[in-house]
Structure 1
Amino acid sequence: MENKIIEELERISDHHKEYEQLVLIEAAKEIIKEQHKRIAQMEGQLDGTLWSPKNWGD
C-alpha cells in the first residue's frame, strides 16, 4: 500500500512545478515512509511480546 501511495505522489509531483506544492508532496512522502517504519516496528514489538516465554504462564 505504501508503495502505491508513494508512486502516486511521485506521479503528481511530475505535473507540478510550484515549489510549495513540491515541498508539500515530499513532506507527505516522508511522513508515509516514517509511519510505515513505525508500523513495522510495532508489529515486531507485538510479535516479540506475544512470543515471550515469560508471558506464557499468564
Structure 2
Amino acid sequence: MEFEDLEPKNKLRKPTDLSNWNIEDLEAYIENMRQEISRAEAMIAEKRSVSSAAESLFKK
C-alpha cells in the first residue's frame, strides 16, 4: 500500500483572503460561488437519481 492511498482525495483548500477585495469583487465572488453551489446541487440530484434507478433495478 502506498502512502498516497491514505491521503484524502479531495483536500480542502485554504480560505481565500478577502480582506483586500473591494465590494464589487466580493459581490461577484458571491455570485460565482452561488452558481457553483447550484451546479454541485444539480450533480448531487443527478447522481441520487441514477443511484435510485439502479437500486430499484437490482432490488429483489
Q: TM-score, normalized by length of structure 2?
A: 0.59
Please report how far the alpha carbon of residue 15 of structure 1 lies from its aligned counterpart in structure 2 after TM superposition: 2.4
Please report how far the alpha carbon of residue 34 of structure 1 lies from its aligned counterpart in structure 2 after TM superposition: 1.0
What 5-or-longer segments of structure 1 have no aligned partner? none
What 5-or-longer segments of structure 2 have no aligned partner? 1-9
Conserved? CA contact 1:16–1:22, under 8 Å: yes
Greater percentage in helix:
1
What's the RMSD between the two structures over aligned residues? Answer: 2.1
Larger radius of gyration: 2
Q: Does 1:38 find its partner at 2:37?
A: no
The number of residues matched between the two structures is 47
Identity %: 6
Comparing both chains, which one has the higher relative contact order based on Cα–Cα distances under 8 Å and sequence gaps of 6 or more? 1
